[in-house]
């Protein structure tokens, strides 16, 4: 059976969550870096590295195919880390919004995949 509108919207939300994760990681890096080199390393290089790992191991066209448990674990680490990073910056509102959307999105992805 084909994908319904809610499933398509949830996939769109997933893409936005992935982008937000990279933005949050970069924001955290710029906020916590002590000097221009630290800010550049944490604010630019770290999100680029995470995007590279995502593309190589987690994207639909990944070159490296992980076993499902490792795929899920890496996904949880990469999409969950921004929750901890936002908390470390004491940005509770953004933490709750990002974390809630992320959790609901993952639950729906798994529920629809199980059908």
- Segment 13-66, tens digit of pLDDT: 999 999 999 999 999 999 999 999 999 999 999 999 999 999 999 998 999 999
Mean pLDDT of 89-113: 95
Please work out, in degrees rounded to the nearest 5, the angle formed at the alpha carbon of residue 106 by the alpha carbons of 31 and 58. 70
- Predicted confidence at residue 114, as pLDDT, reads 58
| Alpha-helix runs per DSSP H in the chain | 5-32, 36-40, 46-57, 68-88, 92-114
Question: What pTM value is reported for the model?
Answer: 0.90
- Residue keyed to tokens 């509108």: 5
- Predicted confidence at residue 2, as pLDDT, reads 66
Q: How far is CA 64 from CA 58, 71, 75, 81, 104, in A?
A: 8, 10, 14, 22, 27
Q: How far is CA 59 from CA 15, 52, 91, 103, in A?
A: 11, 10, 29, 19
Which band of pLDDT confidence, cut at 50, 70 and 90, is reported for residue 113? confident
């Amino acid at each position: 059976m084909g994908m319904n509108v809610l499933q398509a919207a949830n996939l769109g939300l997933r893409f936005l969550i992935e982008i937000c994760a990279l933005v949050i990681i970069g924001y955290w890096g710029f906020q916590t870096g002590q000097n221009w080199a630290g800010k550049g390393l944490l604010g630019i290089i770290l999100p680029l590295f995470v995007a590279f790992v995502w593309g190589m191991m987690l994207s639909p066209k990944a070159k490296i195919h992980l076993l499902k448990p490792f795929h899920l674990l890496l996904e949880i680490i990469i999409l969950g880390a921004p929750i901890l990073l936002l908390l470390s910056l004491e940005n509770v509102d953004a933490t709750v919004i990002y974390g809630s959307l992320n959790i609901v999105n993952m639950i729906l992805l798994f529920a629809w995949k199980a059908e």
